[in-house]
């Protein structure tokens, strides 16, 4: 996998990387389809030494990574994030957005996801909920791989490849 992918220069994958559990899976799918990957974080992260993987370290300012990704989101881009407000911004810009669990964010689903996120945040702040999200599972990882593969195939059929 040391060649530079060039098969689909119109598709680019952005990873909101600070807490992303599916970076390796994303690299595997991107290598298979010849896609560039941009790993965005607000601190240094190790990434494979491949010419088609770019590491971008932004400032530690609140939402700096989100802002960097959202400014580049466009049709033909795939954004991997669990951050619902970032997902909403990227969907609005026309990007395909996937959660690490494989759940796609769309214009129809992102509004409800934002409302649920805000409700859960309010409940946590009020002390009504003390636990976090369920642990990331092998099933989530598998669902993500399938969802990313389907997303790339859909973009290729739409002429982004």
Per-residue pLDDT of the chain (161 residues; tens, 9 = 90+): 444 444 444 899 999 998 899 999 999 999 999 999 999 999 999 999 999 999 999 999 999 999 999 999 999 999 999 998 999 999 999 999 999 999 999 987 766 555 555 555 666 667 766 666 678 899 999 999 999 999 999 999 999 97
Domain enclosing residue 136, as ranges: 12-160
Cβ atoms of 97 and 87 closer than 8 Å? yes
Is 67 within a domain? yes
The SS3 assignment for 85 reads helix
CATH of the domain at 59: 3.40.50
Looking at the structure of the chain, the number of domains it has is 1
Q: Is the pTM for the entire model greater than 0.85?
A: no
Is 1 within a domain? no
Residues in Cβ contact with 15 at an 8 Å cutoff, skipping those fewer than 6 apart: 23, 26, 37, 38, 39, 40, 80, 81
**Distance in angstroms (rounded) separating the CA atoms of residues 123 and 100:** 24
């Amino acid at each position: 996998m040391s060649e530079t992918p060039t098969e689909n220069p119109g598709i680019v994958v952005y990873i909101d990387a600070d807490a992303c559990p599916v970076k390796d899976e994303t690299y595997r799918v991107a290598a298979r389809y010849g896609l560039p990957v941009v790993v965005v974080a607000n601190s240094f992260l190790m990434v494979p030494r491949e010419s088609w993987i770019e590491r971008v370290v932004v400032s530690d300012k609140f939402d700096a990574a989100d802002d960097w990704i959202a400014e580049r989101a466009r049709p033909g881009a795939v954004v991997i994030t669990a951050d619902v407000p970032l997902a909403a911004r990227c969907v609005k810009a026309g990007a395909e957005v996937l959660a690490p669990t494989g759940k796609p964010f769309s214009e129809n689903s992102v509004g409800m996801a934002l409302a649920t996120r805000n409700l859960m945040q309010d409940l946590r702040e009020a002390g009504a909920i003390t636990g976090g999200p369920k642990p990331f599972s092998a099933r989530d990882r598998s669902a993500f791989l399938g969802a990313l593969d389907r997303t790339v195939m859909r973009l290729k059929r739409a002429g982004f490849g």
